Chains A and B, each alone.
Chain A
Amino acid sequence: QSVLTQPPSASGTPGQRVTISCSGRRSNIGSNFVSWYQQLPGMAPKRLIFMNNQRPSGVPDRFSGAKSGTSASLAISGLRSDDEAEYYCSAWDDSLSGRVFGGGTKLTVL
């Protein structure tokens, strides 16, 4: 059971916009920055979003992050087939004194 809650799956067609949610508590998302990671099949994770809504250089602006209260979300617009991957949210948890992850959301591009 992950500390942060994500839907196990999401899907969309090419060109569509999809949103993945991440729910937590005051001790994690409510008090700290959220980051998002993309893990392509068989690959190591890659940072997509940091500090709630910041994109590292090289990450397309089709990816955007948002946070409100104890929840966060990742939006992907202009969906492409190579966006098929597992997506994870993460934050520091003040109560646990450690990093926590969501359980991951498998995105399927139909």
Chain B
Amino acid sequence: EVQLVESGGGLVKPGGSLRLSCAASGFSITPYTMNWVRQAPGKGLEWVSSITSSSNVLYYTDSVRGRFTISRDNAKNSLYLQMNSLRVEDTAMYYCASDDARGYAFDSWGQGTLVTVTP
């Protein structure tokens, strides 16, 4: 069974850091672009970042560029998001999602890990 399991969320003060992890099982992430998508409480989905299969191209939404860093370890079948200089507006459920085979849509999703940034 294909599964993505996020971890690393929690409560942090503004300016703090967190590192999110996403462990995949039931498939190899190696061929696929991987993504982070977030959802603030009561709000819609917002794409955060993507990383291509060999980590050669990274993409970020403007609001996190320079503060967040996406990475992956194909040998460990895992995806990561290093989040620095966190802001209150970064409070959200963070989902890990794999691209589908053609790379045109998010295919499998994790259940999410909650990040709360509060003074």
Chain A interface residues (CB < 8 Å from chain B): 2, 32-33, 35, 37, 39, 44-47, 50-51, 56, 86, 88, 90, 92, 96-104
Total number of B residues with any Cβ neighbor in A under 8 Å: 23
Distance (Å) between the CB of B111 and the closest chain A CB? 5
The answer to whether B105 touches A45 (Cβ under 8 A) is no
Chain B interface residues (CB < 8 Å from chain A): 35, 37, 44-47, 50, 59-62, 95, 97, 100, 102, 104-107, 109-112
Answer whether A47 and B105 are a contact pair too, CB < 8 Å, given A98-B61, A99-B50.
Answer: yes
Answer whether A101 and B107 are a contact pair too, CB < 8 Å, given A44-B95, A45-B95, A47-B100.
Answer: no
Complex Cα–Cα for A37 and B95 (A):
14
The answer to whether B45 touches A51 (Cβ under 8 A) is no
Distance (Å) between the CB of B115 and the closest chain A CB? 15
The answer to whether A2 touches B105 (Cβ under 8 A) is no
Distance (Å) between the CB of A102 and the closest chain B CB? 7
Answer whether A35 and B45 are a contact pair too, CB < 8 Å, given A50-B100, A98-B59, A99-B50.
Answer: no
